[in-house]
């Protein structure tokens, strides 16, 4: 019912294309996150789904009904789309009580008094705010406002929930807690959700699928694991953490399944095996993606084949792990090692080849 | 806020007088005793400007004879207030102010919404045009409307008669309607300036959230936008109401000829129009109006306590702009119509009036330059012009320096006595110009003969500084409040002395606000009539007084010429101010 379909959706402001040619399908009950740096068009995309912004190209349909089609000049405004939305600033109305805030959508829909009271309290119970119903809205903390905003968005049982960076104004500890609470609620209600964030960890922790956007375009759509371990491009790989990209030449290529190929490669500093999503010709140039946590500190000093040796340039302690920057043949590489490991000035690393991934150079 | 580097950083080779001044200031600053002397000096100046005239009012209201004459103390002044006519005067005062505040507020909300929240074309230019009437001295538009809306020979009535062929004169500005109408030309832009930023700064997601909940645009405006604006609207309406009660020009020009009296004109009449002048009565009435204002301020304080909503989120969003389609030309026309009626019509009348031999008789053979010759050949005009300029320059500078000092002490120090200083500087705000004029009248008369200030332009200067100080303190306070303490402390930590910090950091960053405040105070002095008309004497007339005298003598043609000159000055100053503000403060 609540499939959201975006077909070639674009939005231009004069000469500037904020969003260009976005294709996306969100399945029923799915939690999809639009992820990207600020200015990548993710919020504009969400606002076009909401009906707060009109798309200048393409078509948007929600639940099988076309709500916006630039070609036919069709546009259903926000108030007639019946979607729930949680704003970055929460947009809790300060001149109303918590109850009145949540009751507003029902008042607009002329729901009867007793029915309204029951539904508002139910919605507040969902977010554990029923005790605060009579509080004036300005007396709430950030986290509480967030909960009220969610209750208000859910109270009229919309088919789709839109969330625009809802956690970015909270402090780190509360952000993690609210995130997992919201995900649990979303799963329990089975409500289709479209979520916008610039925080890659948040996106990976919460979503069924992640849409990585840059400069108004979709770079990759996939499950968080795929996006992280098998990125489609260098830009997507760079978006998460500080990856190592080793230039290498393909020596051989073997097909394991439709989308999994085993390559053996040789680079200037390192040779070994890695995986790829498509067949690569022998002799082709690739970049091998190695995440810092796939770098293994080697025991002993004898450099085996497939090992990298270098000098420790910088080392910082992060509790469970230690982040190390190593200079190998003039280029810097990042590694994460157990905090208990003893480091000498010269270190040798091996690479977890199961996690190494080839990208087009 | 941007400040060019060369203004704040010319350090090498500081001139000697500045160095000496710095040394003297350093001495003051260095010791606790020095600071106390400095503070005492400031308190003395403020006391002279506010507490002295206020206490003289009290003295005068109890004193049976005019200032400077031997008399007895009694309560006759207060007893005379309790008459039937005076209760009508009180009802008039409050009623007229209410009658102009309510429609002004509605119109100001409409204009603010159009200019802040819609895609009406040329909004930037329209905003300048719509706020222009606020800066025109009311005496000018009063005289222009006196000519436009005169029931016998007014241009509007002549036009009506020429078009319809009837002999009826539908417009008469000498009426309740005329008084309200003239006040509205000021209160609409005044309210607009007060509320437009609240419209502009509102977090758009507050409204978008309502629309996501299914509310239509109209419902959103009614239940969200307007409700959130309510504190700002109430605050603005109360201020506008207070200004309506203090207003002098509108009831003087349009009320008095029709027998409509309000408190301010009553004070004026009892001193200037009655023989012998009723000083004791005028002073007693002054206390009534101050009590009324005090009551309103109390109400305002109670109403607005804790009712200000922080609707501005951290994110630098532009507010939601409503696309009006073809309707945007209608809203454009509404703004232009307001500008035409409040500025173009009066200025046009002055222009026409200045070129015809007699006001009201507009035929080709009546065209003449003789009024220009008469005005430019009149020593009275040049004296008034010179006095206004001199008082404007000195008065605005002195007021801003005083306001800057008071604001600095009350905002940025923890010195004891700072709230006393702040309160003393705020006191004149409770006194309409005419009341302050009466207070100074008594005050100057009771000074020892060795200080012959009464009848000189310095008497006017003191009154102007006193009237302008609350404004200057407010402007400078908000400028200082924007500077974070870190900036000042950072400079101290890096080894700069307190004085260097003041000079290089605080003044360097707040001088644009100083300039903006200076222009506002200058405008205030140029338009001031009610205190001036009580405190001037032969030789110390200012332009507004010269205008009033010419008007009373029936010389509407020369009034037009002088009015036109002043209008040109206003527009010039406003233009310079706008350009300056845009460059240095980034906003209007």
Say whether A78 and B309 touch across the interface (CB within 8 A): no
Yes or no: say if B434 and B534 are a contact pair by the CB < 8 Å rule.
yes
Residue showing tokens 């009426």? B175
How far is the C-alpha of A35 from the C-alpha of A164, rounded, in Å? Answer: 11
Q: What is the maximal distance between C-alpha atoms in chain A?
A: 79
Contacts with A152 from chain B: Cβ below 8 Å: 209, 213
| Shortest distance, CA B223 to any CA of chain A (angstroms) | 10
Model pLDDT, residue B316:
44
Say whether A91 and B215 touch across the interface (CB within 8 A): no
- Rg of chain B over all Cα atoms, to the nearest angstrom: 26
Model pLDDT, residue B9:
35
Lookup: tokens for A82: 């019946």
Say whether A77 and B205 touch across the interface (CB within 8 A): no
| Shortest distance, CA B197 to any CA of chain A (angstroms) | 18
Count of A-B CB contacts under 8 Å: 74
To probe the interface with A, which of B198, B209, B228 has the most A CB atoms within 10 Å? B209
pLDDT tens column, B481-508: 777 777 777 777 777 777 777 777 777 7
Say whether B205 and A83 touch across the interface (CB within 8 A): no
Task: Compare CB distances from B210 to A104, A162, A169 and report the shortest one's residue.
Answer: A104
Classify B171 in phi/psi space as left (phi over 0), alpha (psi -120 to 50) or beta.
beta
Say whether A95 and B205 touch across the interface (CB within 8 A): no
Model pLDDT, residue B167:
78
Confidence band for B314, pLDDT divided at 50, 70 and 90:
very low
- Which of B287, B170, B137, B307 has its CA nearest to residue B235? B307
How far is the C-alpha of B345 from the C-alpha of B148, rounded, in Å? Answer: 8
Q: What is the mean pLDDT of residues B425-448?
A: 85
| CA angle, B543 then B544 then B550, to 5° | 90
Say whether B215 and A108 touch across the interface (CB within 8 A): yes
pLDDT tens column, A250-260: 999 998 888 88
Say whether B215 and A84 touch across the interface (CB within 8 A): no
Residue A33 has pLDDT above 90, yes or no: yes
Question: Which pairing describes strands A192-197 and A331-338: parallel, antiparallel, or unpaired?
Answer: unpaired
CB atoms within 10 A of CB B377: 9
Say whether B214 and A156 touch across the interface (CB within 8 A): yes
Sheet of A217-222, strand order: A84-86, A160-164, A192-197, A31-35, A209-214, A217-222
Lookup: tokens for A330: 């003039």
Q: What single string gives the DSSP state of each residue in B313-332?
A: -SS-PPPPPBP-GGGHHHHH
A69: enclosing H helix or E strand:
strand A65-69
Model pLDDT, residue B20:
62
| Shortest distance, CA A219 to any CA of chain B (angstroms) | 27
- Which of B446, B436, B79, B52 has its CA nearest to residue B278? B79
Mark out chain B residues that contact chain A at CB-CB < 8 A: 203, 205-206, 208-217, 219, 223-224, 227-228, 230, 309-311, 313-315
Residue B588 has pLDDT above 50, yes or no: no
- Which of B439, B510, B531, B425 has its CA nearest to residue B469? B425
How far is the C-alpha of B210 from the C-alpha of B216, rounded, in Å? Answer: 8
Say whether B310 and A77 touch across the interface (CB within 8 A): no
Yes or no: say if B471 and B286 are a contact pair by the CB < 8 Å rule.
no
Model pLDDT, residue A286:
92
Per-domain residue ranges of chain B: 76-358
- Which of B548, B552, B527, B459 has its CA nearest to residue B67? B459
Confidence band for A120, pLDDT divided at 50, 70 and 90:
very high
Please name the residues in contact with B264: beta carbons below 8 A apart, sequence gap of 6 or more: B93, B246, B247, B248, B251, B252, B289, B432, B434, B530
To probe the interface with B, which of A108, A142, A152, A169 has the most B CB atoms within 10 Å? A108
Question: Which pairing describes strands A244-257 and A285-290: parallel, antiparallel, or unpaired?
Answer: antiparallel
State residue A101 phi and psi, 5-degree precision. Answer: -60, -50
Contacts with A170 from chain B: Cβ below 8 Å: none
To probe the interface with A, which of B212, B216, B231, B233 has the most A CB atoms within 10 Å? B212
Confidence band for B3, pLDDT divided at 50, 70 and 90:
very low
3-state secondary structure A279-339: CCCCCCEEEEEECHHHEEECCCCCCCCCEEEEEEEEEEEECCEEEEEEEECCEEEEEEEEC
Classify B83 in phi/psi space as left (phi over 0), alpha (psi -120 to 50) or beta.
beta
Yes or no: say if B183 and B100 are a contact pair by the CB < 8 Å rule.
yes
Nearest chain B residue (CA) to A49? B212
| CA angle, B288 then B292 then B296, to 5° | 170
Residue B11 has pLDDT above 50, yes or no: no
Model pLDDT, residue B109:
93
- Rg of chain A over all Cα atoms, to the nearest angstrom: 25
State residue A221 phi and psi, 5-degree precision. Answer: -125, 130
- Which of A71, A54, A67 has its CA nearest to residue A18? A54
Q: What is the mean pLDDT of residues B306-311?
A: 54
A91 touches chain B (CB under 8 A): yes
| Shortest distance, CA B307 to any CA of chain A (angstroms) | 9
pLDDT tens column, B119-149: 899 988 999 999 999 888 999 999 899 888 8
Say whether B209 and A87 touch across the interface (CB within 8 A): yes
Please name the residues in contact with B567: beta carbons below 8 A apart, sequence gap of 6 or more: B136, B140, B347, B350
Q: What is the mean pLDDT of residues B70-78?
A: 76
Say whether B214 and A89 touch across the interface (CB within 8 A): no
Say whether A50 and B212 touch across the interface (CB within 8 A): yes
Yes or no: say if A347 and A310 are a contact pair by the CB < 8 Å rule.
yes
Q: What is the mean pLDDT of residues B266-280?
A: 84
Contacts with B228 from chain A: Cβ below 8 Å: 93-95
Lookup: tokens for A274: 């890695």
Residue A37 has pLDDT above 80, yes or no: yes
A83 touches chain B (CB under 8 A): yes
Please name the residues in contact with A55: beta carbons below 8 A apart, sequence gap of 6 or more: A9, A10, A11, A19, A48, A68, A70
> SS3 of B575, please?
helix
Residue B585 has pLDDT above 80, yes or no: no
Contacts with B309 from chain A: Cβ below 8 Å: 94-95, 138
Lookup: tokens for B4: 């060019």
Model pLDDT, residue A342:
78
Q: What is the mean pLDDT of residues B295-319?
A: 63
Yes or no: say if B547 and B563 are a contact pair by the CB < 8 Å rule.
yes
DSSP bridge pairs for A321: A318, A338
Residue showing tokens 């005169």? B150
Q: Which residue ranges form the domains of chain A, and what is each CATH number?
A: 4-234 (3.40.50.300), 241-360 (2.40.50.140)
Residues A33-47 as b/e (b if ≥16 CB within 10 A, e otherwise) read bbbbeeebbbbbbbb
Task: Compare CB distances from A79 to B205, B211, B227 and report the shortest one's residue.
Answer: B211
Say whether B205 and A87 touch across the interface (CB within 8 A): yes
In chain B the first and final C-alpha atoms are separated, in Å, by 12
| Shortest distance, CA B224 to any CA of chain A (angstroms) | 8
A50 touches chain B (CB under 8 A): yes
Say whether A89 and B212 touch across the interface (CB within 8 A): no
Domain covering B76-358, topology: MetI-like fold (1.10.3720)
Q: Is A342 exposed, middle or buried (0-12, 13-18, 19+ CB in 10 A)?
A: exposed
Task: Compare CB distances from A93 to B206, B212, B315 and report the shortest one's residue.
Answer: B206
Question: Which pairing describes strands A160-164 and A84-86: parallel, antiparallel, or unpaired?
Answer: parallel
Task: Compare CB distances from B227 to A83, A95, A108 and report the shortest one's residue.
Answer: A95
| Shortest distance, CA B234 to any CA of chain A (angstroms) | 15
Contacts with B203 from chain A: Cβ below 8 Å: 89, 91
CB atoms within 10 A of CB A128: 12
Lookup: tokens for A158: 């919309």
Say whether B310 and A85 touch across the interface (CB within 8 A): no
| Shortest distance, CA B127 to any CA of chain A (angstroms) | 25
How far is the C-alpha of A241 from the C-alpha of B373, rounded, in Å? Answer: 81
Lookup: tokens for B166: 């009837």
Q: What is the mean pLDDT of residues B273-290?
A: 84
How far is the C-alpha of A295 from the C-alpha of A298, rounded, in Å? Answer: 9
Task: Compare CB distances from A88 to B206, B223, B315 and report the shortest one's residue.
Answer: B315
Q: What is the mean pLDDT of chain B?
A: 83
* DSSP type of residue B15: -
Contacts with B211 from chain A: Cβ below 8 Å: 52, 77-79
- Lowest-confidence segment of A165-179, B274-288, B303-317, B398-412 by average pLDDT: B303-317
pLDDT tens column, A172-192: 888 888 899 899 999 999 999
Lookup: tokens for B215: 């509310």
Say whether A153 and B212 touch across the interface (CB within 8 A): yes
Q: What is the mean pLDDT of residues A207-225?
A: 94
Question: Which pairing describes strands A31-35 and A57-62: parallel, antiparallel, or unpaired?
Answer: unpaired
B34: enclosing H helix or E strand:
helix B32-46
How far is the C-alpha of B464 from the C-alpha of B34, rounded, in Å? Answer: 29
pLDDT tens column, A296-354: 887 665 556 678 888 889 888 888 888 999 988 888 899 998 888 777 888 888 888 88
């Amino acid at each position: 019912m609540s499939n959201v379909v975006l077909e070639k959706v674009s939005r231009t402001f004069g000469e500037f294309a904020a969003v260009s040619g976005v294709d996306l399908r969100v399945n029923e009950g799915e939690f999809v996150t639009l992820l990207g740096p600020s200015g990548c068009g993710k919020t504009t995309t969400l606002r076009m789904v909401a009906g707060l912004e009109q798309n200048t190209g393409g078509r948007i349909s929600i639940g099988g009904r076309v709500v916006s089609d630039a070609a036919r000049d069709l546009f259903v405004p926000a108030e007639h789309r019946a979607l729930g939305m949680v704003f970055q600033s929460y947009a809790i109305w300060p001149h109303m009580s918590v109850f009145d805030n949540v009751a507003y959508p029902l008042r607009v829909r002329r729901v009867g008094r007793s029915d309204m009271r029951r539904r508002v309290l139910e919605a507040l119970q969902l977010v554990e705010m029923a005790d605060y119903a009579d509080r004036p809205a300005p007396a709430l903390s950030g986290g509480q406002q967030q909960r009220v905003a969610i209750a208000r968005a859910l109270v009229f049982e919309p088919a789709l929930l839109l969330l625009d960076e809802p956690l970015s104004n909270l402090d780190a500890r509360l952000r993690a807690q609210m995130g997992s609470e919201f995900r649990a609620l979303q799963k329990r209600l089975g409500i289709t959700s479209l979520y916008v964030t610039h925080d890659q960890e948040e996106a990976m922790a919460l979503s069924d699928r992640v849409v990585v956007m840059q400069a108004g375009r979709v770079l990759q759509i996939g499950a968080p694991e795929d996006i992280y371990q098998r990125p489609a491009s260098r830009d997507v790989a760079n978006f998460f953490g500080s990856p190592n990209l080793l230039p290498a030449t393909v020596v051989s290529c073997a097909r394991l399944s439709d989308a999994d190929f085993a390559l053996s490669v040789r680079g200037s500093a390192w040779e070994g095996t890695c995986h790829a999503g498509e067949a690569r010709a022998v002799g082709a140039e690739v970049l091998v993606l190695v995440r810092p946590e796939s770098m293994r500190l080697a025991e002993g000093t004898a450099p085996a084949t497939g090992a990298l040796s270098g000098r420790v340039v910088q080392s910082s302690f992060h509790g469970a792990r230690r982040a190390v920057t190593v200079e190998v043949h003039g280029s810097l590489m990042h590694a994460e090692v157990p905090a208990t490991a003893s480091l000498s000035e010269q270190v040798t690393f091996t690479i977890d080849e199961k996690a190494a991934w080839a990208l087009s150079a | 806020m941007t400040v060019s580097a060369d203004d704040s950083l010319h350090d090498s080779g500081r001139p000697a007088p500045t160095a000496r001044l710095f040394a003297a200031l350093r001495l003051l600053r260095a010791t606790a005793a020095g600071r106390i002397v400095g503070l005492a000096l400031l308190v003395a100046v403020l006391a002279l400007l506010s507490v002295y005239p206020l206490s003289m009012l009290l003295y005068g209201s109890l004193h049976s004879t005019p200032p400077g004459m031997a008399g007895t103390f009694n309560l006759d002044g207060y007893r005379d207030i309790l008459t039937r006519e005076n209760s009508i005067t009180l009802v008039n005062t409050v009623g007229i102010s209410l009658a102009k505040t309510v429609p002004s507020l509605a119109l100001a909300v409409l204009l603010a919404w159009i200019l802040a929240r819609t895609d009406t074309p040329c909004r930037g230019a329209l905003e300048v045009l719509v706020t222009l009437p606020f800066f025109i001295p009311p005496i000018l538009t009063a005289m222009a409307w006196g000519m436009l809306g005169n029931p016998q020979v007014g241009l509007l009535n002549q036009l009506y008669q020429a078009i319809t062929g009837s002999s009826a004169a539908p417009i008469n500005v000498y009426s309740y309607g005329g008084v309200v109408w003239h006040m509205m030309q000021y209160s609409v832009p005044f309210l607009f300036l007060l509320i437009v930023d609240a419209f502009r700064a509102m977090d758009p997601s507050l409204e978008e959230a309502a629309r996501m909940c299914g509310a239509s645009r109209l419902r959103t405006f009614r239940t969200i936008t307007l409700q959130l604006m309510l504190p700002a609207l109430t605050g603005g309406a109360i201020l506008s109401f207070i200004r309506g009660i203090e207003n002098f020009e509108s009831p003087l020009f349009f009320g008095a000829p029709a027998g409509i009296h309000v408190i301010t004109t009553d004070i004026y009449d009892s001193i200037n129009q009655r023989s012998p002048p009723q000083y004791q009565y005028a002073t007693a009435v002054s206390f009534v109006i101050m009590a009324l204002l005090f009551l309103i301020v109390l109400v305002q304080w109670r109403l607005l306590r804790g009712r200000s909503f922080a609707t501005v989120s951290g994110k630098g969003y532009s507010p939601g702009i409503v696309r009006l389609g073809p309707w945007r030309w209608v809203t454009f026309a509404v703004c232009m119509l307001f500008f035409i009626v409040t500025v173009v019509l009066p200025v046009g009348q002055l222009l026409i009036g200045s070129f015809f031999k007699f006001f009201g008789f507009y035929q080709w053979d009546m065209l003449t330059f003789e009024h220009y010759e008469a005005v430019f050949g009149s020593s009275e005009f040049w004296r008034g012009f010179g006095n206004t300029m001199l008082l404007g320059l000195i008065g605005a500078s002195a007021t801003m320096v005083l306001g800057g000092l008071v604001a600095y002490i009350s905002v940025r120090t923890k010195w004891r006595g700072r709230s006393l200083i702040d309160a003393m500087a705020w006191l004149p705000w409770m006194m309409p110009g005419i009341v302050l004029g009466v207070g100074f009248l008594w005050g100057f008369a009771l000074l020892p003969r060795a200080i012959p200030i009464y009848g000189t332009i310095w008497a006017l200067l003191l009154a102007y500084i006193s009237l302008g100080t609350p404004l200057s303190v407010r402007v400078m306070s908000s400028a200082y409040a924007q500077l974070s303490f870190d900036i000042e402390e950072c400079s101290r930590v890096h080894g700069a002395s307190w004085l260097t910090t003041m000079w290089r950091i605080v003044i360097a960053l707040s001088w644009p606000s100083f300039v903006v405040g200076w222009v506002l105070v200058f405008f205030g002095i140029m338009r001031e009539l009610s205190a001036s008309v009580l405190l001037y004497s032969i030789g110390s007339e200012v332009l507004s007084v010269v205008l009033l005298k010419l008007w009373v003598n029936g010389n509407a043609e020369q009034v037009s010429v002088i009015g036109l000159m002043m209008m040109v000055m206003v527009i010039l100053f406003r233009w310079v101010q706008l350009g300056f503000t845009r460059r240095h403060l980034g906003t209007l």
